[in-house]
Amino acid sequence: MIDEELVQLLTPEGLRVGHPEYASSLDGEEIFSLYRDMVIVRRLCNESTSLQRQGQLALWAPIQGQEAAQIGAGRALQPMDFTFPTYREHGIAWCRGVPPEDVLRMFRAVSNGGWNPQHFRHSVPTVVLGNQALHAVGYAMGVQRDGAEEAVMTFFGDGASSQGDTLESFVWAASFNAPVVFFCQNNQWGISTPSSLQSKVPLYRRAEGFGFPGVRVDGNDVLAVYEVTKKALDNARVGGGPTMIEAYTYRMGAHTTSDDPTRYRIDAEVEVWKHRDPLERVKALLVREYQIKGAAFDQVNHEAEAMALKLRDDVLAMGRPDPITMFDHAYASEHALIEEGRREMLELGISGGAH
């Protein structure tokens, strides 16, 4: 995979490569810590997949293969930044401090959100493709009005890049020079739709036509993703305007647990990408360059295992909410139809108020 356009700092074999514009700024400890996060979110993802298989989740959207893209981007964020994810940003949520079990509330179908987005400065997941890109730009316009040095980052996929909302958000970000970073994970597929149907040219080039820079980064190279994202965020915070980042990566698993990718893609493609595993290359680097030993890796695996165990317990403990809660927060203030609905539900004995 030699690609002039692609920012890469670490080859699939874990060898460092130079880049005229970007250099890795991280020391061994920091790299190890990125690796740790990747291991944990991979484990989180695997645990969620099995929870789904066991009927404990309604659905799961795996991120396997995209760990470097998400951890690289997520770790480049500062606490004061704000993020607008889709349904697949579990790695970002992890970096923002959202408890893993909260990420699973939507997938357990007990909530349509799952966490307090203001508290974590990480918005609730957006399922309607593209909608969140405009929210991010609007939020960024608020940041501008507050005169704050904060950046906003929004996430979308190669598929969502075709939606009007995503494209309008480019127009607006450019027009208002909004402090926003568009982070597009091109995982090659939108369910069964290959990214080649969304664009005949590399996606990152779209940005330039709207008047702001686009960068394509090896999305399986956590060092490169981190540096590219950090630079874009730093630039946004000081008034440098928007950047689009295309993280070129691959969705190793199915679109969701409801999906059957064997119907539309060939094994050989998946095999090729296996050799580009985002975790393996960092591990190779850590072993070779920083002499990290098996014990340290074991320790990370233990941590991940503990997280997974706790996650499982937490999820199993998530009961069915009292039906009456469906009326909560439908409106911010009193509403006759809400009162009516509550009353009817109580009369029918559906909610006993026992909860």
Ligand X SMILES: Cc1ncc(C[n+]2csc(CCOP(=O)(O)OP(=O)(O)O)c2C)c(N)n1
Active site residues: 251, 255, 264
When asked if residue 63 is in the footprint of another protein (CB under 8 A), the reply is: no
Applying the rule CB under 6 A, the residues between 252 and 311 that interact with ligand X are 255
Q: What CA–CA distances, in Å, run from 340 to 68, 229, 239, 331, 343?
A: 49, 49, 50, 14, 5
Q: Which stretch binds ligand X (CB under 6 A): 124-132, 139-147, 284-292, 333-341?
A: 124-132
When asked if residue 80 is in the footprint of another protein (CB under 8 A), the reply is: no
Exactly one of 67, 158, 259, 277 binds ligand X (CB under 6 A); which one?
158
Exactly one of 266, 333, 353, 354 binds another protein (CB under 8 A); which one?
333
When asked if residue 348 is in the footprint of another protein (CB under 8 A), the reply is: yes
β-bridge partners, 155 = 183
Alpha helices, H only, 266-324:
267-274, 278-290, 294-317
DSSP assignment string, 40-66: HHHHHHHHHHHHHHTTS-S-----TT-
197 or 316: CB nearest Mg ion: 197
When asked if residue 47 is in the footprint of ligand X (CB under 6 A), the reply is: no
Instruction: State which amino acid sits at residue 98.
Output: V
> Minimum distance between the CB of residue 257 and Mg ion, rounded to whole angstroms?
16
When asked if residue 316 is in the footprint of a copy of itself (CB under 8 A), the reply is: no
Residue 156 host element (H or E): strand 152-157
- Positions in the binding site for Mg ion (CB under 5 A): 157-159, 187, 190
> Minimum distance between the CB of residue 188 and ligand X, rounded to whole angstroms?
8
Applying the rule CB under 6 A, the residues between 52 and 111 that interact with ligand X are 88
When asked if residue 263 is in the footprint of another protein (CB under 8 A), the reply is: yes
- Pairing mode, strands 193-194 and 189-190: antiparallel
Of 176, 193, 196, 316, residue with least CA distance to 242: 176
Of 92, 253, 242, residue with least CA distance to 188: 253
When asked if residue 159 is in the footprint of ligand X (CB under 6 A), the reply is: yes
Of 95, 77, 97, residue with least CA distance to 226: 77
52 or 162: CB nearest a copy of itself: 162
Applying CB under 8 A, the residues found at the interface with a copy of itself are 162-165, 167-168, 171, 174-175, 197-201, 205-211, 214
